Amino acid sequence: MLAKADRVKFRLQDGFLWKTTFLCLVSCNSDALMQGQFDAYRTEGFFDEMFGEEGRVRPHYAKLLERFRELGEEEFLRKRLLAERSYLDQGITFTVYSNNEGTERIFPFDVIPRIIPASEWSLIERGLTQRITALNAFLHDIYHEQRILKEGVIPSEMILTAKHFRPEFMGFDVPGNIYIHICGSDLIRDGNGEYLVLEDNGRCPSGVSYLLENRQAMKRVFPKLFSRYAVRPVDTYTQELLTVLRHIAPGGNPDPTVVLLTPGIYNSAYFEHSFLARSMGIEIVVGADLTVKDSKVFMKTTQGLRPVDVIYRRIDDDFLDPTVFRKDSVLGVPGLVEAYRKGHVSLANSIGTGVADDKAVYYYVPHMIRFYLSEEPILQNVPTYLGSNADDLAFILDKLPELVVKATNESGGYGMLIGPKSTHDEIESFRKAIIADPRNYIAQPVVALSRSPSYCDGRIEGRHIDLRPYILSGEKVTIIPGGLTRVAMRKGSLVVNSSQGGGSKDTWVCDDDGE
Amino acid sequence: MEHPMLSRAADTCFWLSRYIERAENTARILDVNMQLLLDYDTHASDAGKHHWQPLLASLEAQELFAKLFDRIDAETVMQFLTFEKQNPNSIISSICDARENARTIREQISSSMWEHLNRLYLYLQSPSAKSDFLGSPHDFYRRVVEGSHLFQGVTDATMSHSEGWQFIQVGKYVERADNTSRLLDIKYHILLPSGEQVGGVVDLTQWMAVLRSCSAIEAHLKATGGTLTPWNVAEFLILDDAFPRSIRFCVDQMDEGLREIGGGTRGAFRNEVERISGILRSNLDFANIDQVYDCGLHEFLDGIQLQLIEITAAMTKEYCVWLAE
């Protein structure tokens, strides 16, 4: 006979450890009515996506402006609420952690789309294809002959000291010779409207689910707008991603089992992991769902072990396998790296791509393009100063209050100093850190990021934006039209990261230039 | 051909479904108990206490309740079983747990299932849930019950009826059988201390309340030709073969789900879980109410609850053995 206490326990799920999170709604002020909507809009000297010189609407935005002017203010607000409601109902939220308690937030969504004309997109597409080709060639080279180091194009020191360089994988041939299968490169536009590359994310770039959901929301809320524009569709992304993942299956297996490996429900990008797995019809697994036997990876099912061929992992190298990388990782799968080395399982992205994410290595991407492809870069980098270069270092320390300084291995808007917006103490503490470890810092001038009209605090105002296109490398390179446009929702802010209060908007690539 | 599902996902489907069914049953019991209270003289000393104590006892929740509240009355018990997050079996905890489970297997369930559950969760977390509850507890509980019905209907209509769906069915019927047995047990608690009331007017009202909380009153009257006695109420809720909340019906459905998962045939077994599930099913098939009363109603119900626990454990061992590693 079971004791009472045991029986209480049996009515509850074993090992059910999820803490309950409570939802916090980002409220919006719907009382404030917009006055004259776009008429009161000012570009304030910034490059504006929608309005050109003397406040004239750019041709590709003309029909949008027309439609928004037809729209009453009440209707506009109603549509905005409708969009928010649909995000909430679907649980499209990310989790912010503090004091061990998670709070779910909606990723703020702005209903005024960003439009990229066909000619601009074609340039971006060619530039990004060139860039990913060079990055993949670079990664192959670094883990094999290291020609680019031997010929002195990049100082060896720079690579060998990079935090995410994996010397364990020297001489290892990755499936299909593709290192970065999924890349998210951040683009910004400067004061003249020129597109510049701010950074490349070659490990586990996130955000693509927001891009896809933003489009769904816009179609639901503004169906008529889509009939006025020939907007290129984005919804083939997940099928193209699956094609890439199947392409790299070991031994050219025509019917491989593909899974998505997530750190779990507490990860801030969990929604995205689940979304992608659902959209591709593949299993989403946590480390504990997998096991390695005889250097082969299996998942634990109700009918026993089932072999796994390809893993789309959304876990950084460090946490993949506690027997090889971080010993304290509970997210990974013991023996996974050995299975990968033996060619029994493929990973996307490959191990060791983080070296290309390093912000000091970023400096050399234009050099890589010339070195491997004998071409001139189509998209330029933001001017960058390296802490490891003596002249640059002197310049950085001299101009610190005017520069943006970034730690080379941080992401998500962390480890960053925006000189003009920082206090004396913040600047001085960065100065100390840079002097202590110059290799770990780069600096860039403050770029006046382009702005786009956005609905904030009850009116339409310019907000700074960037663009993260998603680049897939499989048999060929494919880029989803547009990308995720991130918006710094706080007035004057240049930081667009969701962890720092950023939002997003739908991004349209049109079949023409609107002229 | 459909691949076998991840053990973790199977376990999650099972519990997701149990928690939703549990929230529904708690809402049903509270709704009916609250209405029943109207038939009592609420000013009589201890009336409220006698009314609510058995409910807590049947849920095995007295200890936790005593830690959180210093008096037993309608207000504290309803708060404890509805909005108290420290009570793992309150309606709000059940729905939170159901949603957290669903969140980890959104690739297994349909989008509509997730959206319905998420909406119910958001509602319960919102201030309007509290004000609705204060305004009309009856409407509030009905909304919870309907939320569960909607979810079950959407599940049937939008999810493939393959392995994951079967685990959801098994979870639903295990929980429902368990809840119906506990509901009858509450009646047992009320009966025993004051024997002279048995068969009296109050007694009849209470048996009707039991039926009502299972939405069973019309079905019962139809089945018995309009007669209502404690014996035939218990018989109906334990042994009827067609009413969807009777224990026998639930066990039969659970058994069928388990055989769909394991590939067994009725009357035979392929593994331990099918074996013990089959025993419980056939025991109920061949039981009659005299046997139940000979055994003792409480003991009989207690035995069923224990067997359901054993079946759940065997199911986990058979299909989710990895989870214990």
Which of A7, A8, A301 faces B5 most closely, judged by CB atoms?
A301
- Residues B147, B151: Cα–Cα separation, whole Å: 6
Task: Give the residue-averaged pLDDT of B102-129.
Answer: 92
> Which residues does B313 contact at the CB level (< 8 Å), separation at least 6?
A10
Per-position DSSP letters for A426-441, written without gaps between them: HHHHHHHHHHH-GGGE
Nearest to B140 by CA among B128, B122, B153, B152: B128
**Could you confirm whether domain A383-445 is CATH 3.30.540.10?**
no
Percent of residues, chain B, with pLDDT higher than 90? 62
Q: Where are the domains of chain A?
A: 383-445
- State how far Cα A491 lies from the chain centre: 23
The answer to whether B162 and B257 have CB atoms below 8 angstroms apart is no
Task: Indicate whether B200 pLDDT > 70.
Answer: no
Task: Indicate whether B45 pLDDT > 60.
Answer: no
Task: Indicate whether B197 pLDDT > 60.
Answer: no
Q: Is B270 on the interface with A (CB under 8 A)?
A: no
The answer to whether A131 and A197 have CB atoms below 8 angstroms apart is yes
- Residues A352, A237: Cα–Cα separation, whole Å: 25
Which amino acid would we find at residue B45? S
Backbone angles phi, psi at A94, to 5 degrees: -120, 165
Q: Give tens-digit pLDDT for A370-392.
A: 999 999 999 999 999 999 999 99
- Banded pLDDT at A132 (limits 50, 70, 90): very high
Six-digit token string for A42: 């000012």
Per CB-CB distance under 8 Å, the chain A contacts of B122 are 23, 88-89
CA angle B38, B188, B145 (to 5 degrees): 55
- Banded pLDDT at B194 (limits 50, 70, 90): very low
Six-digit token string for A287: 């480390």
Q: What pLDDT score was predicted for residue A489? A: 87
Q: Do B319 and A90 touch (CB under 8 A)?
A: no
Q: Is B6 on the interface with A (CB under 8 A)?
A: yes
Per-position DSSP letters for A333-375, written without gaps between them: -TTHHHHHHTTSSEEESPTTGGGGT-HHHHTTHHHHHHHHH--
Least Cα separation, residue B120 to chain A (angstroms): 10
Six-digit token string for B102: 């669903």
- Residues B113, A267: Cα–Cα separation, whole Å: 23
Percent of residues, chain A, with pLDDT higher than 90? 63
- Banded pLDDT at B193 (limits 50, 70, 90): very low
Task: Indicate whether A80 pLDDT > 90.
Answer: no
Q: Do A20 and B97 touch (CB under 8 A)?
A: yes
Task: Give the residue-averaged pLDDT of A144-163.
Answer: 94
How many Cβ contacts (< 8 angstroms) between chains A and B?
A: 103
Q: Is A23 on the interface with B (CB under 8 A)?
A: yes
> Which residues does B92 contact at the CB level (< 8 Å), separation at least 6?
B82, B83, B84, B85, B124, B125
Q: Do B103 and A270 touch (CB under 8 A)?
A: yes
ipTM over cut 0.90: no
Task: Give the residue-averaged pLDDT of A156-172.
Answer: 91
Q: Give tens-digit pLDDT for A88-118.
A: 777 776 666 555 555 566 778 999 999 999 9
Task: Indicate whether B213 pLDDT > 60.
Answer: yes
Task: Indicate whether A157 pLDDT > 80.
Answer: yes
Q: Do B4 and A304 touch (CB under 8 A)?
A: yes
Q: What pLDDT score was predicted for residue A34? A: 36
Neighbours of A147 (CB within 10 A): 14
Higher pLDDT, A182 or A513: A182
Percent of residues, chain B, with pLDDT higher than 70? 90
Residue in chain A nearest B112 by alpha carbon: A90
Q: What pLDDT score was predicted for residue A412? A: 58
Q: Is B240 on the interface with A (CB under 8 A)?
A: no
Specify the pTM.
0.86
Q: What pLDDT score was predicted for residue A222? A: 87
Q: Is A432 on the interface with B (CB under 8 A)?
A: no
Task: Indicate whether A33 pLDDT > 50.
Answer: no
Task: Give the residue-averaged pLDDT of A253-280.
Answer: 92
Q: Give tens-digit pLDDT for B58-78.
A: 888 889 999 999 988 888 999
Q: Is B285 on the interface with A (CB under 8 A)?
A: no
- Banded pLDDT at A36 (limits 50, 70, 90): low
Q: Give tens-digit pLDDT for A469-500.
A: 999 999 999 999 999 999 998 888 877 776 66
Strand pairing category for A109-116 and A502-509: parallel
- Residues B296, A158: Cα–Cα separation, whole Å: 81
Q: What pLDDT score was predicted for residue B39? A: 65
Q: Give tens-digit pLDDT for B99-110.
A: 999 999 998 999
Task: Indicate whether A32 pLDDT > 50.
Answer: no
The burial of A366, by beta-carbon neighbours within 10 Å (0-12 exposed, 13-18 middle, 19 or more buried), is given as middle
Q: How many CA atoms lie within 13 A of A245 on its CB side?
A: 26
Which of B85, B103, B175 to probe the A interface (max A CBs under 10 A)? B103
- Banded pLDDT at A265 (limits 50, 70, 90): confident
Q: What pLDDT score was predicted for residue B192? A: 47
Fill in the DSSP letter of residue B109: S
Which of A15, A23, A285 faces B323 most closely, judged by CB atoms?
A15
- Banded pLDDT at B196 (limits 50, 70, 90): very low
Q: Is A423 on the interface with B (CB under 8 A)?
A: no
Per CB-CB distance under 8 Å, the chain B contacts of A13 are 11, 15, 97, 101
Least Cα separation, residue A283 to chain B (angstroms): 7
Task: Indicate whether A294 pLDDT > 60.
Answer: yes
Tokens 């913040």 locate to A426
Backbone angles phi, psi at B167, to 5 degrees: -65, -35
Q: What pLDDT score was predicted for residue B32? A: 84
